[in-house]
Chain A
Amino acid sequence: MAEAIAFYTLSVLILGLGVAVITTPKTVHSVVFLVLNFLCVAVLYVVLQAEFLAVIQILVYAGGIVVLYLFVVMLVNLKHAPEEHEDPRRLGRLALALSGAMLLEVVGIVVYSSRHEPFARVTGSTEVSPVQGNVEELGWLLYTDYLIPFEVASVLLLVAMVGAIVLARRES
Protein backbone atom coordinates (compact mmCIF):
# COMPACT_ATOMS: atom_id res chain seq x y z
CA MET A 1 0.00 0.00 0.00
CA ALA A 2 2.72 2.41 1.00
CA GLU A 3 4.61 1.51 -2.15
CA ALA A 4 1.51 2.14 -4.26
CA ILE A 5 1.03 5.61 -2.79
CA ALA A 6 4.72 6.43 -3.25
CA PHE A 7 4.71 5.07 -6.78
CA TYR A 8 1.65 6.98 -7.97
CA THR A 9 2.70 10.25 -6.32
CA LEU A 10 6.20 10.00 -7.76
CA SER A 11 4.90 8.97 -11.19
CA VAL A 12 2.65 12.00 -11.39
CA LEU A 13 5.52 14.24 -10.26
CA ILE A 14 8.05 12.70 -12.64
CA LEU A 15 5.78 12.84 -15.68
CA GLY A 16 4.47 16.30 -14.85
CA LEU A 17 7.96 17.69 -14.37
CA GLY A 18 9.09 15.93 -17.53
CA VAL A 19 6.33 17.65 -19.51
CA ALA A 20 7.27 20.94 -17.82
CA VAL A 21 10.91 20.49 -18.91
CA ILE A 22 10.03 20.24 -22.59
CA THR A 23 7.22 22.82 -22.63
CA THR A 24 8.46 25.83 -20.64
CA PRO A 25 9.62 28.63 -22.94
CA LYS A 26 12.46 29.77 -20.66
CA THR A 27 15.51 27.55 -20.64
CA VAL A 28 16.43 28.35 -17.02
CA HIS A 29 13.00 27.21 -15.81
CA SER A 30 13.49 24.06 -17.82
CA VAL A 31 16.74 23.35 -15.96
CA VAL A 32 15.03 23.86 -12.59
CA PHE A 33 12.26 21.43 -13.53
CA LEU A 34 14.95 18.99 -14.64
CA VAL A 35 16.58 19.11 -11.18
CA LEU A 36 13.23 18.43 -9.52
CA ASN A 37 12.61 15.59 -11.94
CA PHE A 38 15.99 14.02 -11.08
CA LEU A 39 15.27 14.34 -7.36
CA CYS A 40 11.92 12.58 -7.80
CA VAL A 41 13.64 9.79 -9.74
CA ALA A 42 16.14 9.49 -6.87
CA VAL A 43 13.27 9.05 -4.41
CA LEU A 44 11.81 6.41 -6.73
CA TYR A 45 15.17 4.58 -6.53
CA VAL A 46 14.89 4.59 -2.74
CA VAL A 47 11.40 3.07 -3.08
CA LEU A 48 12.97 0.43 -5.32
CA GLN A 49 15.64 -0.32 -2.68
CA ALA A 50 18.50 1.04 -4.77
CA GLU A 51 19.91 3.42 -2.19
CA PHE A 52 23.36 3.70 -3.74
CA LEU A 53 21.88 4.70 -7.09
CA ALA A 54 19.66 7.26 -5.39
CA VAL A 55 22.75 8.92 -3.90
CA ILE A 56 24.60 8.70 -7.21
CA GLN A 57 21.60 10.16 -9.00
CA ILE A 58 21.60 13.20 -6.72
CA LEU A 59 25.39 13.59 -6.80
CA VAL A 60 25.98 13.11 -10.51
CA TYR A 61 22.74 14.28 -12.10
CA ALA A 62 21.29 16.90 -9.79
CA GLY A 63 24.71 18.03 -8.56
CA GLY A 64 26.98 17.66 -11.57
CA ILE A 65 25.22 17.48 -14.89
CA VAL A 66 22.57 20.07 -14.08
CA VAL A 67 25.19 22.55 -12.86
CA LEU A 68 26.91 22.06 -16.20
CA TYR A 69 23.62 22.83 -17.96
CA LEU A 70 23.16 25.94 -15.83
CA PHE A 71 26.67 27.11 -16.70
CA VAL A 72 25.94 26.73 -20.41
CA VAL A 73 22.55 28.47 -20.10
CA MET A 74 24.23 31.36 -18.32
CA LEU A 75 27.18 31.54 -20.75
CA VAL A 76 24.93 31.54 -23.78
CA ASN A 77 23.29 34.95 -23.67
CA LEU A 78 21.08 35.30 -26.67
CA LYS A 79 20.25 38.50 -28.45
CA HIS A 80 16.96 37.13 -29.71
CA ALA A 81 14.63 34.41 -28.45
CA PRO A 82 16.16 30.99 -29.10
CA GLU A 83 13.20 29.58 -31.00
CA GLU A 84 12.32 32.63 -33.06
CA HIS A 85 13.51 31.32 -36.38
CA GLU A 86 11.85 28.26 -37.82
CA ASP A 87 13.11 26.44 -40.84
CA PRO A 88 10.22 26.30 -43.37
CA ARG A 89 11.27 22.78 -44.27
CA ARG A 90 10.68 21.66 -40.68
CA LEU A 91 7.96 19.00 -40.39
CA GLY A 92 6.54 19.69 -36.93
CA ARG A 93 3.33 17.73 -37.38
CA LEU A 94 5.23 14.72 -38.66
CA ALA A 95 7.49 14.90 -35.61
CA LEU A 96 4.50 14.83 -33.27
CA ALA A 97 2.91 12.00 -35.22
CA LEU A 98 6.16 10.02 -35.01
CA SER A 99 6.35 10.62 -31.25
CA GLY A 100 2.78 9.38 -30.90
CA ALA A 101 3.62 6.31 -32.96
CA MET A 102 6.64 5.70 -30.69
CA LEU A 103 4.45 5.97 -27.58
CA LEU A 104 1.91 3.54 -29.04
CA GLU A 105 4.65 1.14 -30.02
CA VAL A 106 6.28 1.17 -26.57
CA VAL A 107 2.92 0.79 -24.80
CA GLY A 108 2.06 -2.06 -27.15
CA ILE A 109 5.31 -3.82 -26.31
CA VAL A 110 4.72 -3.31 -22.58
CA VAL A 111 1.13 -4.60 -22.69
CA TYR A 112 2.07 -7.55 -24.85
CA SER A 113 5.05 -8.58 -22.74
CA SER A 114 3.23 -8.20 -19.43
CA ARG A 115 0.23 -10.17 -20.65
CA HIS A 116 1.69 -13.00 -22.64
CA GLU A 117 4.88 -13.84 -20.89
CA PRO A 118 5.46 -13.46 -17.17
CA PHE A 119 8.68 -11.72 -16.31
CA ALA A 120 11.19 -14.53 -16.23
CA ARG A 121 12.99 -15.16 -13.00
CA VAL A 122 16.70 -15.42 -13.60
CA THR A 123 18.87 -16.86 -10.91
CA GLY A 124 21.86 -17.06 -13.17
CA SER A 125 24.65 -16.03 -10.89
CA THR A 126 25.89 -19.18 -9.24
CA GLU A 127 28.21 -17.54 -6.77
CA VAL A 128 26.44 -15.87 -3.92
CA SER A 129 27.64 -12.45 -2.97
CA PRO A 130 29.67 -12.67 0.25
CA VAL A 131 28.50 -9.28 1.46
CA GLN A 132 25.19 -7.84 2.56
CA GLY A 133 23.59 -4.53 1.75
CA ASN A 134 22.94 -2.63 -1.43
CA VAL A 135 26.14 -0.60 -1.58
CA GLU A 136 28.37 -3.51 -0.60
CA GLU A 137 26.85 -5.90 -3.11
CA LEU A 138 26.98 -3.33 -5.90
CA GLY A 139 30.64 -2.61 -5.15
CA TRP A 140 31.40 -6.31 -5.01
CA LEU A 141 29.83 -6.82 -8.44
CA LEU A 142 31.61 -3.79 -9.90
CA TYR A 143 35.00 -5.00 -8.75
CA THR A 144 34.60 -8.67 -9.68
CA ASP A 145 32.32 -9.52 -12.63
CA TYR A 146 32.19 -6.02 -14.10
CA LEU A 147 35.74 -4.86 -13.45
CA ILE A 148 36.69 -4.37 -17.11
CA PRO A 149 33.54 -2.41 -18.06
CA PHE A 150 34.10 -0.34 -14.94
CA GLU A 151 37.64 0.55 -16.01
CA VAL A 152 36.46 1.23 -19.57
CA ALA A 153 33.87 3.62 -18.13
CA SER A 154 36.61 5.49 -16.29
CA VAL A 155 38.63 5.77 -19.51
CA LEU A 156 35.49 7.03 -21.27
CA LEU A 157 35.05 9.72 -18.64
CA LEU A 158 38.70 10.77 -19.04
CA VAL A 159 38.32 10.97 -22.82
CA ALA A 160 35.08 12.95 -22.44
CA MET A 161 36.80 15.37 -20.05
CA VAL A 162 39.69 15.97 -22.45
CA GLY A 163 37.25 16.31 -25.35
CA ALA A 164 35.07 18.82 -23.51
CA ILE A 165 38.09 20.92 -22.56
CA VAL A 166 39.40 20.91 -26.14
CA LEU A 167 35.96 21.80 -27.54
CA ALA A 168 35.21 24.59 -25.10
CA ARG A 169 38.68 26.15 -25.25
CA ARG A 170 38.95 29.48 -26.99
CA GLU A 171 40.95 29.44 -30.19
CA SER A 172 43.96 31.66 -29.63
Chain B
Amino acid sequence: MEITPAHYTVLSAALFSIGVIGVLVRRNIIIIFMAIELMLNAVNINLVAHARQLENLVGQVFVVFVIAVAAAEAAVGLGIILALFRNKETVNIDEMNVMRW
Protein backbone atom coordinates (compact mmCIF):
# COMPACT_ATOMS: atom_id res chain seq x y z
CA MET B 1 0.00 0.00 0.00
CA GLU B 2 2.87 2.34 -0.64
CA ILE B 3 1.95 5.56 -2.40
CA THR B 4 4.43 6.29 -5.17
CA PRO B 5 4.72 9.45 -7.29
CA ALA B 6 2.99 7.48 -10.04
CA HIS B 7 -0.17 7.53 -7.91
CA TYR B 8 0.01 11.30 -7.66
CA THR B 9 0.69 11.54 -11.38
CA VAL B 10 -2.44 9.52 -12.13
CA LEU B 11 -4.49 11.76 -9.82
CA SER B 12 -3.01 14.78 -11.53
CA ALA B 13 -3.77 13.38 -15.00
CA ALA B 14 -7.38 12.67 -14.04
CA LEU B 15 -7.88 16.16 -12.59
CA PHE B 16 -6.26 17.70 -15.66
CA SER B 17 -8.62 15.75 -17.92
CA ILE B 18 -11.61 16.95 -15.91
CA GLY B 19 -10.37 20.47 -16.55
CA VAL B 20 -9.98 19.80 -20.27
CA ILE B 21 -13.50 18.36 -20.48
CA GLY B 22 -14.83 21.42 -18.65
CA VAL B 23 -13.11 23.82 -21.04
CA LEU B 24 -14.24 21.98 -24.15
CA VAL B 25 -17.82 21.10 -23.17
CA ARG B 26 -19.21 23.92 -21.03
CA ARG B 27 -20.45 27.15 -22.59
CA ASN B 28 -20.48 29.36 -19.50
CA ILE B 29 -17.22 31.29 -19.60
CA ILE B 30 -16.94 31.58 -15.80
CA ILE B 31 -17.08 27.79 -15.48
CA ILE B 32 -14.49 27.50 -18.23
CA PHE B 33 -12.20 29.72 -16.15
CA MET B 34 -12.76 27.50 -13.13
CA ALA B 35 -11.86 24.46 -15.23
CA ILE B 36 -8.60 26.20 -16.14
CA GLU B 37 -7.90 26.66 -12.43
CA LEU B 38 -8.50 22.93 -11.97
CA MET B 39 -5.92 22.19 -14.64
CA LEU B 40 -3.38 24.47 -12.95
CA ASN B 41 -4.04 22.66 -9.67
CA ALA B 42 -3.43 19.30 -11.35
CA VAL B 43 -0.04 20.52 -12.52
CA ASN B 44 0.75 21.79 -9.02
CA ILE B 45 -0.03 18.41 -7.43
CA ASN B 46 2.34 16.77 -9.88
CA LEU B 47 5.12 19.26 -9.13
CA VAL B 48 4.78 18.94 -5.35
CA ALA B 49 4.70 15.12 -5.47
CA HIS B 50 7.87 14.97 -7.52
CA ALA B 51 9.55 17.64 -5.41
CA ARG B 52 9.11 15.32 -2.45
CA GLN B 53 10.20 12.26 -4.38
CA LEU B 54 13.41 13.93 -5.55
CA GLU B 55 13.98 15.59 -2.16
CA ASN B 56 14.46 18.83 -4.02
CA LEU B 57 12.43 21.92 -3.24
CA VAL B 58 12.72 23.45 -6.72
CA GLY B 59 9.39 21.88 -7.66
CA GLN B 60 7.73 23.76 -4.83
CA VAL B 61 9.35 27.01 -5.99
CA PHE B 62 7.75 26.42 -9.36
CA VAL B 63 4.39 25.91 -7.70
CA VAL B 64 4.74 29.36 -6.12
CA PHE B 65 5.24 30.82 -9.59
CA VAL B 66 2.32 28.85 -11.02
CA ILE B 67 0.08 30.20 -8.27
CA ALA B 68 1.26 33.74 -9.00
CA VAL B 69 0.51 33.31 -12.69
CA ALA B 70 -2.88 31.77 -11.88
CA ALA B 71 -3.76 34.78 -9.73
CA ALA B 72 -2.74 37.17 -12.51
CA GLU B 73 -4.69 35.15 -15.07
CA ALA B 74 -7.81 35.10 -12.92
CA ALA B 75 -7.68 38.85 -12.33
CA VAL B 76 -7.22 39.77 -15.99
CA GLY B 77 -9.62 37.09 -17.24
CA LEU B 78 -12.40 38.12 -14.91
CA GLY B 79 -11.81 41.75 -15.89
CA ILE B 80 -12.31 40.72 -19.51
CA ILE B 81 -15.48 38.81 -18.58
CA LEU B 82 -16.88 41.89 -16.85
CA ALA B 83 -16.02 44.14 -19.79
CA LEU B 84 -17.59 41.68 -22.22
CA PHE B 85 -20.68 41.32 -20.08
CA ARG B 86 -21.10 45.09 -20.05
CA ASN B 87 -21.05 45.19 -23.85
CA LYS B 88 -22.81 41.95 -24.82
CA GLU B 89 -24.96 41.07 -21.75
CA THR B 90 -23.86 37.44 -21.90
CA VAL B 91 -21.41 34.94 -20.42
CA ASN B 92 -22.14 32.29 -23.04
CA ILE B 93 -19.10 31.78 -25.24
CA ASP B 94 -21.27 30.75 -28.18
CA GLU B 95 -22.62 34.31 -28.22
CA MET B 96 -19.19 35.89 -27.90
CA ASN B 97 -18.30 36.10 -31.55
CA VAL B 98 -17.59 39.81 -32.03
CA MET B 99 -14.03 39.08 -33.15
CA ARG B 100 -14.72 35.83 -35.00
CA TRP B 101 -16.36 36.86 -38.22
Contacts and interface: CB of A to CB of B under 8 A. Distances in A.
Interface of A: 1, 3-4, 7, 11, 14-15, 18-19, 21-22, 27, 30-31, 34, 37-38, 41, 44-45, 48-50, 52-53, 56-57, 60-61, 64-65, 68-69, 71-73, 75-76, 78-79, 82-87, 90, 92, 95-96, 98-99, 102-103, 106-107, 110, 114, 119, 121-125, 129, 134, 137-138, 141-142, 145-146, 149, 153, 156-157, 159-161, 163-168, 170
A164 B81 CA distance: 10
B95 to A, nearest CB: 6
A78 B59 CA distance: 42
A22 B37 contact: no
Contacts of A164: 75-76, 78-79
A110 B64 CA distance: 24
A72 B90 CA distance: 13
Contact of A69 (B28, B34, B54, B97): B34
B80 A110 contact: no
A119 B53 CA distance: 8
A50 B64 CA distance: 11
B2 A18 contact: no
B72 A84 contact: no
Nearest to B53: A119
B2 A82 contact: no
Interface in B66-89: 67-76, 78-83, 85-86, 89
A106 B34 contact: no
A14 B15 contact: yes
Interface in B1-58: 1-11, 13-22, 24-28, 30-31, 33-35, 37-38, 41, 44-45, 48-58
